[in-house]
Each structure stands twice: as structure tokens, then as C-alpha cells.
Chains A and B, each alone.
Chain A
Amino acid sequence: MTSVADFPVGPAPVSRRVLGIGAVLIVAFAVVPALASPYVFDAILLPFLALSLAGLGLNLLTGYGGQVSLGSAAFMAVGAFAAYNFQLRLGVSLPLALGLAAATSALIGTFFGLPSLRLRGFYLAVSTLAAQFFVQWALNKFGWFSNDSASGVISAPKIAFWGLDLDSSAGRYFFALIVVTLITVLVWRLVSGPEGINLNAVRDDETAAKVIGVPVLRTKLAAFAISSAIIGVAGVLWSFAYLRTIEPEGFNLDRSFQILFIVIIGGLATIRGAFLGAALIVVFPLLLARVSSALFGGVIDAGVLKLIEQIVLGAIIILFLIAEPNGLVAILDRARARLGRALRRD
């Protein structure tokens, strides 16, 4: 007879996973800051962290919960503008504003999640577009949200609180990194606990889940709320730490698709997937620009490059869906297994 303990939980034994996570944290907190230049912080690491967090939030809803959302960018916008207004009007410190922004996004996310109680599949996916268009319209239309700024583009307040000044590139990186790390731990606890199992049950078979006593309605709405809260925080990081400006235009439908692509490319229903997907999405255009300038000099102009980028990105999505539906995570796991076998053989 085999006991449960004979089977490894998850992709690797727990002890080795802890080791791996420790290594990643050491690299992220010590090695990267020691090596990175301001350009690397500003152009690669900060957007990477913000998009990873957004991907993590969407993955909770789409990967673990099975509800496809095309309105993620709207919740990023809600988070960013909420944090801005809480700081501006109530004078709260940034960490508190971050929490309040998350709560606001959760509230609005729950509201736009209400259709999920009655709609499924495509009908739900399309109805999440309502959030996308409504939020963008409201933020553009009512000057109050942007403090009646003439251009609609506001510069974000400095990242400074509790006597700390984190406004340098490295400071903003550490701020974003700490936020992302904390939320990742929370998400990890959530999906490996009973709530996560409920979420999977609702995704896999709603009727069966209801029969065995999973509170389907509450689980669905909670998924929308938590996912939106995380995406809202990602929006704060995106505009406060990365762009340092807040404007509705940056949170358009293309951004929503980008976040969905991160989840697909990285791997549905995995935590690592969001990070791998975001890394690819951030690095790929930079790499493409480098390659084209190395190969063709300045012959290809920026507009054409943008189109090529679009085509290749679309092709990558299709390719992943066809050849590796489990995303980069699966590729990484396979590579690691092969490497492990090769090492053991020696």
C-alpha cells in the first residue's frame, strides 16, 4: 500500500522547492540590485514586476477559476487612480493608499463580476469588456478623478513614506519587489488552501462543486474581488513605480490582452507562469529591436518594427496554444527534469 506521502506534491519535492524559492529571492533582492543599471531597473525590471503581478491576479481568476476576463487593464486603472486620489485627498501614506486602492479595485471588480453568476464562457468574456470600456470612459469623462488636470496625464507622487525616500530607480525596484513578494506569498497560501481547491472545483465542474457543498456564488465573487484587488495593486506599481505618470490611455484594451497573453504564455493556474510570461512579454520587444538594428541597421523604422512585433506576438500565442498549452512553466519543468537526469547519470 502506498501512502499519500509517497507522491511528491506539485512539480518538485517541498524541500527542493523551498531551496529554489530561496535562490530566486536572493537573486531578486541581492544579486540583481548589485548588477543592474538604472536602465535595466526602469525599462525591464519595473514593468516586469508590475505586469507579473497583474498576470498573477488574472491567473487567479482565469487559470485557477476558469473565468476569462478581457477587462484587466480597467482594474489596473482603478487601482492607480484610487491610490492617487486617496493620497491626494486624504493625505494617507503610500502603503495605506495601496491597501485602499486594492479595496477599491476589489469592490469594483466584484460589481463587474456579478454577471458571472449568470453568464458563462464567451458570454461572460464579452461582458467583462463592459468593465474595460466603462472605466476608461469614466476616468476620461470626469475630471475629478485626475484632479482636473488639463491634459489628463498626472505625474505620480514620489514613492516616499515613513521617512523613507524610495524615489531612485533602485528604491522603486525594492518597493515594487517587496509588494510583489508579499502578494505572491498570499496568493500561494490562497491557492494551496481550501479556497483554492474550491476555485478549481468551480472551474472544473460547477454542478459537481455545488453538489459537494462548495459555495459557488461566493467563490466566484471572491475570485473576482481578489483578482481585481491584485490587478489594482499592479496598476499602482505600473503607474507609480514604473511610468511615474497616471493616465487612462495606458490602461486600454491592448493592455488587457497583454495581461491575458502573459497568463497564456506563462502557464495557466501556476504562480511561476505569471512571472515567466511577463518576462517574455517585457523582454521580447527589446530583443526584437536589438536584433533588427543589429541585422538591418536603421533600415527598419519604428512603425514597421511595431507591426512585426505584433505579428510575432500573435504567432507566439497561437504556437503556445497549439504546441505547449501549459506554457513556459511546462517547458521549464521539462528542461529541469532532463537536466536532473543528465546530472544523475554522471
Chain B
Amino acid sequence: MMDWLNFLFGVEVAVGGLLSGVMYALVAIGFVLIYKTSGVLNFAQGAMVLFAALTFVSLIERGVPFWLAIVFTLAVMTMLGFAIERSVLRPLTNRSPMVLFMATLGLSYVIEGAAQLIWGTQVHRLDLGISNEPIDFGGIYVSQFDLAAAAIAAAMVAALTLFFRFTRTGLSFRAVADDTFAATAVGLRLNLIRSTVWTAAGFVALVAGLLWGARLGVQFSLSVVVLKALPVLVLGGFDSILGAIVAGLMIGASEKLAEVYLGPYVGGGIESWFAYAVALVVLLVRPSGLFGTKLVERY
């Protein structure tokens, strides 16, 4: 009997981990979108999550209805995307990916600072109207909120997949990702496409920001989710949405299991680095991640 209960507990932990992995993947997908089309590892994605969530919650607090707030926040993220493309990425065209990465590091400082300067530094509560009551699945308790978050994430991935397959803009994203020169040669407008990608990443940031914000409260520490997403990216490969999801699930589950079963032996709190250790071990076997394109070195 005891064994069975222990087993159930283990499953519960694993399921909880998988679901929090979905949340990691949610942030990681924003990275993948930008990396695929412009070859930039956008460190500012976390700052964009913060900015989107903070803008949304501040609008709600000022009495703006839910959907209007979503639309308005999306408009702001679109403007931000275009502004970034115009003022940061375009002047840095043809520079090394590392320079671009460091520029996004600077960008994350600017966005984080600006978001808090505009909307204040206090913690905002965000209620999406999803209950946090656990549901009982034959002895395994699963948080309702986590399930809803997973469903929203799944819907978003489905929408993104359809978008990339069947819309003209989505197809041109893929063309640019495939071969920038050829895409320019057939007349695709590179600058416009890159701005649009940043807008799409802004949309993903908004979704991630709402879900993470509902869980942790909307505050500065939201931008730290970027640090949770990085090992997921490394593990899944920088340019694969599928990889981001699979790696998110793997890291979420192994992290929670390790915290419960390994943590007590080393004093706990190993969540801060365990994901990185998992990613590193896997990378030693597969240096370009699980689903990443075989590494093309472009320093």
C-alpha cells in the first residue's frame, strides 16, 4: 500500500513537472521564432514577457475590458517589435550572431527598465478567472490552472503551425529562415518580415506573460523566466518549435523529480541549476540539441 502511494506521489510530481515544462516551452517558443528567421538569440524575450504582462495588467487595473486590453497590448508589442527592428537590428545587419546577442542583452536592460519606469515596480495580481483547484484523477491531483495553461499552449502551437503552413506571411517567414539571400532575391521584404516576427514573438510573450503572471504575480521576476527557458532551448535546439516543447517537458519533469528525490540529499533548492545540468549532459552526446539543425558555425 505504501509503495502504491509512493508511486502515485511520484506520478503526481512528474505530471506537475510536465505541466510546468509547458510553461517553460511557452517562453522558449518566443526565442525559437526569432532565432529561426533572424539568427538572433533574443535575450530580451524575458523582458518582453514582463513588458507585455505589465502593460496588460496595468490596463486591466485602469478598468479596460479584457479583450480590449489584449488588443491594445498586442498593438503595443507590435510597435515595440517594429521599433526594435528599426533601431537595433537593422543597423546591426551582417554582424556576427554574438554581437546581435549582446545587443539583445542591452535591449533587455532597456525594456525591463522602461516597463517598470512606465508602470511602476510594485507587484500586480493577475486573475485570469481560471481556478487553481486541483482535480482528482484516480488519486493523482493535477492543478486545473496548469491543465488550462497546457491547453492554451497547445492551441497556440497549433495556431502557429497553421500560420507557418498556410498563410502567405507564415510561408515567407520560413523562406527567410531557410535561405535569406534567396528570399530577398524573390522579392520578400526582409525588414518587414523581421518586424513581423518580432511582433509574433511579442504575441507569444503576451501569452506567456499572462500565464506566468497569473501564477507568480506580475512583477520584475517575470523577466527571469528567460533563465528557465534557456536550458530548454539548448536542449531542444535553438531553431525547433517541436524541440522547445519536448525539451520543456523533459526539463520540467526531471527538474521536479530531482527536487523531490535528489534534493533532500544535497540540501534542496537545486532547481536553479538542475535544468542546465540536464541540458549539458544531453549536449555532450548531441551538441546541437535534440531537434536542432546540425550546427553551422557562424561566429
Contact with B277, one of A118, A130, A140 (Cβ below 8 angstroms): A130
Is A5 part of the binding interface, using a Cβ–Cβ cutoff of 8 Å?
Answer: no
Using known A-B contacts A119-B287, A141-B267, A311-B117, determine if residue A133 contacts B273 with beta carbons closer than 8 Å. Answer: yes
Give the contact stretch, choosing among B175-183, B209-217, B226-234.
Answer: B226-234
| Cα-based distance from A327 to B272 in the complex (angstroms) | 34
Minimum Cβ distance to chain B for residue A63 (Å): 12
Chain A CB within 8 A of B109 CB: yes
Interface SS of B by simple majority: helix
Note all chain A residues with C-beta closer than 8 A to B91: 322
Residue-by-residue, is B94-137 near A (CB-CB < 8 Å gives 1, otherwise 0)?
Answer: 01011101110111111111101100010000000000000000
Q: Which of B92, B108, B280 interacts with A314 by CB under 8 Å?
A: B108
Chain A 128-153: CB-based contact to B (< 8 A → 1; otherwise 0):
01100110110011100000000000
Q: Which B residue's beta carbon lies closest to that of A68?
A: B98
Shortest distance in angstroms between B101's beta carbon and chain A's nearest beta carbon?
Answer: 7
Contact A321 B103 (CB under 8 A): yes
Q: Which single member of B88, B103, B230 contacts A129 (CB below 8 Å)?
A: B230
Q: Measured between C-beta atoms, what is the minimum distance from B289 to chain A in Å?
A: 8
The smallest C-beta distance from B265 to any residue of chain A, in angstroms, reads 12
Flag the segment in A7-15, A210-218, A300-308 that touches B: A300-308
13 new A-B contacts, CB < 8 A, other than A68-B98, A127-B276, A307-B117, are: A115-B280, A137-B269, A137-B270, A141-B268, A203-B299, A257-B105, A308-B117, A310-B109, A310-B113, A314-B110, A317-B103, A318-B103, A318-B110
On whether A310 and B273 interact (CB within 8 A), knowing A125-B101, A322-B91, the answer reads: no
Cross-interface CB contact of A126 among B234, B272, B288, B299, cutoff 8 Å? B234
Interface-centre pick from A123, A133, A310, A317 (highest chain B CB count, 10 A): A123
Judge if B69 is at the interface, Cβ distance under 8 Å: no
Residues of the B chain whose Cβ atoms lie less than 8 Å from the Cβ of A321: 92, 95, 99, 102-103, 106
* Closest A residue to B109 using CB positions: A314
Question: Is B295 at the interface (CB under 8 A from chain A)?
Answer: yes
**B76 interfacial contact with A, CB 8 Å:** no
Total count of chain B residues near the partner, CB < 8 A: 50
- Contacts known (A122-B97, A260-B102); A311 close to B280, Cβ less than 8 A: no
Whether a CB of chain A sits under 8 angstroms from the CB of B52 is: no
A127 and B113 in contact, given A66-B299, A121-B299, A303-B121 (Cβ under 8 angstroms)? no
**A141-B266, A321-B103 are contacts. A119–B283 as well, Cβ < 8 Å?**
yes
Chain A residues positioned under 8 Å from B238 (CB to CB): 122-123
Q: How many angstroms between the C-alpha atoms of A314 and B107 in the bound complex?
A: 6
Residues of chain A contacted by B102 (CB below 8 angstroms): 68, 260, 264, 317, 321
Complex Cα gap A288–B298 (Å): 38
Q: Does B186 interact with chain A (Cβ within 8 Å)?
A: no
B1 at the interface (CB under 8 A from A): no
Contacts of B117 in A (CB 8 A): 304, 307-308, 311
Docked-complex contact B234 and A123, CB < 8 angstroms: yes
Q: Are A120 and B295 in contact, with the CB atoms below 8 A?
A: yes
Instruction: With both chains docked as a complex, state the minimum distance between the C-beta of B166 and any C-beta of chain A, in angstroms.
Output: 31
B272 (CB) vs chain A CBs: closest residue: A133
A307 partner residues in chain B, CB cutoff 8 A? 113, 116-117, 121
Nearest first, the 6 closest Cβ-Cβ pairs linking A and B are A314-B109, A317-B106, A130-B276, A311-B113, A310-B113, A314-B110
A129→B106 contact, CB < 8 A: no
Complex: A342 Cα to B102 Cα, angstroms: 36
* Min CB gap A9→B, angstroms: 26
- In the assembled complex, A280 has its CB within 8 A of some CB on chain B: no
Expressed in whole angstroms, the minimum distance between the Cβ of B286 and any Cβ of chain A is 10
6 of the cross-chain contacts (CB-CB < 8 Å) are: A120-B299, A261-B106, A307-B117, A310-B110, A314-B109, A318-B103
Report the minimal beta-carbon distance from A146 to chain B, rounded to whole angstroms: 14
Q: Measured between C-beta atoms, what is the minimum distance from A115 to chain B in Å?
A: 6
Q: Could you say which residues of chain B place their CB within 8 Å of the CB of A142?
A: 267
A24 lies within 8 A of chain B by Cβ: no
Q: Is A191 an interface residue (CB 8 A)?
A: no
Which residues of chain A are near B77, meaning CB under 8 Å? Answer: none
B284 within 8 Å of A (CB atoms) = yes
B41 lies within 8 A of chain A by Cβ:
yes
- Residue-by-residue, is B247-269 near A (CB-CB < 8 Å gives 1, otherwise 0)? 00000000000000000001111
Q: Hey, what's the 0/1 contact readout for B217-228 against A, CB within 8 Å counting as 1?
A: 000000000010
**Cα-based distance from A264 to B103 in the complex (angstroms):** 10
- What is the CA–CA distance of A308 and B117 in the complex, to the nearest angstrom? 8
Interface contact A311-B267, CB-CB below 8 Å: no
**Bound: A317/B109 CA distance, A:** 10
CB distance from A215 to the nearest CB of B (A): 19
Closest to B87 in A: A318
- A325 within 8 Å of B (CB atoms): yes
Within 8 A of B (CB), among A308-346: 308-311, 313-318, 321-322, 325
Q: What's the least CB distance linking A196 to chain B, in Å?
A: 18
B230 touches A126 (CB 8 A): yes
Distance of A329 from chain B, by nearest CB (Å): 17
**Alpha-carbon separation in the docked complex, A121 to B296 (Å):** 10
